[in-house]
Amino acid sequence: MRTVYVNGDYLPENEATVSIFDRGFLMADGVYEVTSVLDGKLIDFDGHAVRLERSLRELDMKTPISKEDLLEVHRELVRLNGIEEGMIYLQITRGAPGDRDFVFPDPETTAPTIVLFTQNKPGLSDSPAAKKGMKIISIEDIRWGRRDIKTVQLLYPSMGKMMAKKAGADDAWMIEDGFVTEGTSNNAYIVKGNKIITRGLSHDILHGITRAAVLRFAREAQMEVEERNFTIDEAKEADEAFITSASTFVMPVVEIDGVALGDGVPGRVAPRLREIYLEESLKAAI
Ligand code: PDD
């Protein structure tokens, strides 16, 4: 049984509880982070902690725990649960005011709820899916306009994954005003020749921590990076495509809406970037 963290306590998962009045439960009024663990160490902890603070600030919530204490909780959960490879899920909500009300509760009297738990995923870094590549479909992006805030409103991304599954695919890329925004839970890229193309940062997409690292490593390896919008038709004609996220790292995409990219197998750039990302991230892991 897992040991999880709730509001300052480490508890067996079946003893950990949150109020029915919690605004995360009633209003999706909360933010989250997913940090991966490799070799028992945290990948890009700092990036996730900084983005967490930004998400909270954007929603007028105070950061209820210091970065140092948060790091300690992450490390303690990794230790208590013996995680070598996997993820740590963290969620902070506006707390449980004791009734349902659209108006935010007074932060002086209602403390935020903090929950963390581990997900053990042996073999995460050596995933067979990375060798095979993913099939994706395209769907309309009907999410709200602040996708840069990592909120727990994940119903549409969840429905998107179900649409993909129903269509025999692995995931979906979302499209707004004719351009790809991002994947249901990842950032989206295409490759043309040696050029990596991905949408620029704005309120339209999550500012992926893996995205930032991968683009930095790509530039350091003298690969060309272009941050601009692209259409799904351009993607279908690309040499390669891939996604990035804390739980998939870099994952090649080999089919879009039934159209095979190149030879229909992972190309040269995405697997190379995955290799570099895993190697460099491990070096910097804490
Ligand atoms: N998802 N875009 C969306 C919509 C996401 O949900 C995520 C992450 C990303 C990639 O961000 P990062 O590289 O920081 O993980 C992009 C996490 C992994 C999840 O929901 O499980």
Which pLDDT does position 284 carry in this prediction? 95
Question: What is the model's pLDDT at position 74?
Answer: 98
Predicted local confidence at residue 165, as pLDDT: 98
Q: Which amino acid is at 266?
A: P
Q: Which of 41, 131, 150, 165 is catalytic?
A: 150
3-120: CATH architecture: 2-Layer Sandwich (3.30)
Which residues of the chain have a pLDDT value below 70? none
What is the per-residue pLDDT across 202-216, written as a single tens digit (0 to 9) for each? 999 999 999 999 999
Whether 121 is catalytic is no
Q: Record the pTM.
A: 0.97
Summarize pLDDT for 84-101 with one digit per residue, the tens.
999 999 999 999 999 999
**CATH 3.30.470.10 location in the chain:** 3-120
Best probe residue, ligand 1, of 187, 203, 210 (max atoms within 8 Å of C-beta): 187
Tokens representing residue 84 in the block: 């070598």
**Assigned CATH topology for domain 128-284:** D-amino Acid Aminotransferase; Chain A, domain 2 (3.20.10)
HSE-up of 225 (CA within 13 Å, CB side)? 18
Q: Which ranges in the chain are annotated with CATH 3.20.10.10?
A: 128-284
Q: What distance in angstroms lies between residue 8's CA and the mean position of ligand 1's atoms?
A: 26
Task: Answer whether 107's CB lies under 8 Å from 60's CB.
Answer: no
Cβ neighbours of residue 229 under 8 Å, at least 6 residues apart? 179, 180, 199, 200
pLDDT at 262: 87
Hey, which of 206, 210, 214, 273 would you mutate to test ligand 1's pocket, going by the most ligand atoms within 8 Å of its Cβ? 206
96 CA to centre of ligand 1 in angstroms: 26
Identify the residues whose C-beta falls under 6 Å from ligand 1: 34, 182, 185-187, 206, 208-211, 244-247
CA of 91 to the centre of ligand 1 (A): 14
